[in-house]
Amino acid sequence: MAVPLLSIRNLTVQFRVDTGWVTAIDDVSLDVGTGDCVGVVGESGSGKSVTALSVLQLHDRVTTRMPSGSILYQGDDLLRAKGSTMRRIRGSEIAMIFQDPMSSLNPVLTVADQISETLRQHQGLTGAAARKRVIELLGLVRIPDAARRADDYPHRLSGGMRQRVMIAMAIACKPRLLIADEPTTALDVTIQAQILELLRDLRRELSMSVMLISHDLGVIAEFAQRVVVMYAGRVVEDAPVTQLFRRPVHPYTMGLIAAVPALDSDAPRLTTIAGRIPGPQEIIPGCRFSPRCALVLQGCREEPPSMQMVSDGQSARCPPRIQVLDVRHV
């Protein structure tokens, strides 16, 4: 088998608080192959963004520690990489689109200034050469009148345009891996569709691998080839996208899919998952989903379940005795 472009193995990330260290993600493993798009889905607080930020080592080293695991990029462990190595990789080989473009963009610098910084750091472009490339990038992400928009400040752009600027910054150096953290959050449905279509086209044109983080199953179903479902800091299911939606195994995955609104009149009533996702400071013995699970067994409350292969290419952190939910309406 080919070595994945990115391979996270048994990663644990902890943050320091007043009472000590709390575990934000625990024993997380996932792969992103060359040219693949992997979707990471789960409720807010499930550990999706923490995992993404760990890949680029963007956590505060004073208040964060990673006591176990590895993050292999092209076979090299990023957790053991020197600072100079990470500075070279960030932006040039692995790039990231952050959740909120308004807070991610500097309000006192023009669009051209902000994109040029990436070009200067990684490609040595300055002056007219950098500006020419900036305009090319803005055109690539379909911003009209790119030469004029390059001199705008972020507040003069719409939400969709700001997101396109973030994408232009991310792809400026043609990275091999793009991490998109909720790239369509706070955008209206029409703009969401445009951004997803743009990302799909760029992925094909630039031969990028993509790690797409979202809480929107519709976005994941449309864009990803493989899906990793996270809950309370752990991966609970990992499967090809078609297989996951047709035959989910973990009760949490079932609940997420059942909660997606359906438009046809024959669909069952909208369901919800009872309770709430636990915080990182809450200690739950056994399966972390057990307090909310309608299919819980006594053993689920006693021993933390491990990931088990349940079918070809599909694994879940749950005994394979669960009956599969009929999700044909999704």
Per-residue pLDDT averaged across 188-207, rounded? 88
Look-up: residue for tokens 């693949």? 36
Q: Is 197 left (phi over 0), alpha (psi -120 to 50) or beta?
A: alpha
Look at strands 37-41 and 314-316 and give their pairing: unpaired
Q: Are 171 and 137 in contact (CB under 8 A)?
A: yes
Q: What is the pTM of this model?
A: 0.91
Has residue 1 got a pLDDT over 60? no
User: What number is the average pLDDT over the span 217-233?
Assistant: 94
Tens of pLDDT, residue by residue over 159-197, are 899 999 999 999 999 999 999 999 887 778 888 888 889
pLDDT, mean over the chain:
90
The Cα 31–Cα 72 span in angstroms is 9
DSSP E strands: which ranges in 155-279? 177-181, 209-214, 226-231, 234-240
A 10 A CB-CB count for 267 gives 13
- Identify whether the C-beta of residue 211 lies closer than 8 Å to the C-beta of residue 48: no
Q: What is the pLDDT of residue 30?
A: 96
DSSP readout, 266-327? TSPPP----S-PPPTT----S-TTGGG-TT--GGGGTSPPPPEEEETTEEESS-TTSPPP--
- Would the pLDDT of 319 be above 70? no
pLDDT of residue 320: 55
Nearest-10 Cα torsion for 183, 95, 38, 208:
110
pLDDT score, position 218: 87
- Mean pLDDT value of segment 307-316: 91
Query: Using CA atoms, how far apart are residues 160 and 105, in angstroms rounded to an integer?
Result: 13
Residue 325 has pLDDT above 70, yes or no: no
Angle at 18 between CA 80 and CA 86, to 5 degrees: 20
Under DSSP, the state recorded for 201 is H
Instruction: Name which residue leads in pLDDT, 56 or 186.
Output: 56
pLDDT above 70 coverage of the chain, percent = 94
Answer whether residue 92 shows pLDDT above 70: yes
Per-residue pLDDT band at 215 (split at 50, 70, 90)? confident
Tokens at residue 108, please? 């006192």
- Nearest-angstrom CA–CA distance, 249 and 307: 12
- Summarised one tens digit per residue, pLDDT across range 255-303 is 999 888 776 656 667 788 889 999 888 989 899 999 999 888 888 888 8
Where does the pLDDT of residue 307 fall: very low under 50, low under 70, confident under 90, or very high at 90 and above? very high
The pLDDT value given to residue 264 = 66
How many whole angstroms separate alpha carbon 299 and alpha carbon 114?
A: 54
Backbone angles phi, psi at 91, to 5 degrees: 90, -40
**DSSP assignment letter at 60:** -
